[in-house]
């Protein structure tokens, strides 16, 4: 038994860092990154959205398990986000909400994040917004010289 107790710390370290090992400052910075993404989507701010990613980041969007969009360069991401102008031109106000955020430190000090998301739309003639999307985010945040950035962002909508 004593021998097992001596090996336990090494065994636990080999399993990878836990959420409790993420500093408060890093946790808050990653939450701010996620909030900035939602803010950029809702204000149609493509330059802000593109600035949230590392240069080599990959972003993917799935609907009911099927890959419907992928961007691997800043130019592709910009074009994808610029496509949202159709909502703005129709006067649709979107709101992106993120909840149930779970974080885990992974290799190289990156933070893997899983969260739930819901999106509402409100058309100009509607008195209240309505829920149009539910799903989850799976993302990796990487600490860079200019702060935390997305190095991977996957959005999995529950429907098609």
Q: What residues does each domain of the chain span?
A: 17-157
Q: Rounded distance, CA 106 to CA 108, Å? A: 7
Q: What is the DSSP string of 76-97?
A: HHHHHHHTTHHHHHTTPEEEEE
pLDDT tens for each residue of 129-159: 999 999 999 999 999 999 999 999 999 999 8
The CA radius of gyration of the chain, in Å to the nearest whole number, is: 18
**17-157 domain in CATH 3.10.450.50?**
yes
Q: Rounded distance, CA 136 to CA 84, Å? A: 20
pLDDT score of 18 = 58
pTM (2 decimals)? 0.85
Q: Rounded distance, CA 35 to CA 80, Å? A: 19
């Amino acid at each position: 038994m004593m021998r097992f107790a001596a090996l336990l710390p090494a065994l636990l370290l080999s399993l990878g860092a836990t959420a409790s090992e993420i500093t408060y400052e890093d946790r808050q910075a990653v939450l701010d990154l996620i909030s900035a993404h939602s803010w950029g989507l809702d204000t149609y701010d493509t330059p802000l959205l593109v600035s949230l990613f590392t240069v080599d980041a990959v972003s993917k969007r799935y609907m009911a398990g099927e890959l419907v969009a992928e961007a691997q360069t800043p130019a592709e991401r910009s074009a994808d986000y610029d496509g949202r102008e159709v909502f703005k031109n129709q006067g649709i106000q979107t709101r992106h909400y993120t909840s149930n955020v779970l974080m885990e430190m992974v290799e190289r000090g990156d933070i893997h994040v899983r969260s739930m998301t819901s999106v509402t739309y409100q058309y100009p003639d509607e008195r209240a917004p309505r829920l149009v999307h539910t799903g989850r985010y799976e993302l990796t945040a990487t600490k860079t010289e200019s702060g935390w950035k997305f190095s991977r962002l996957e959005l999995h909508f529950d429907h098609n």
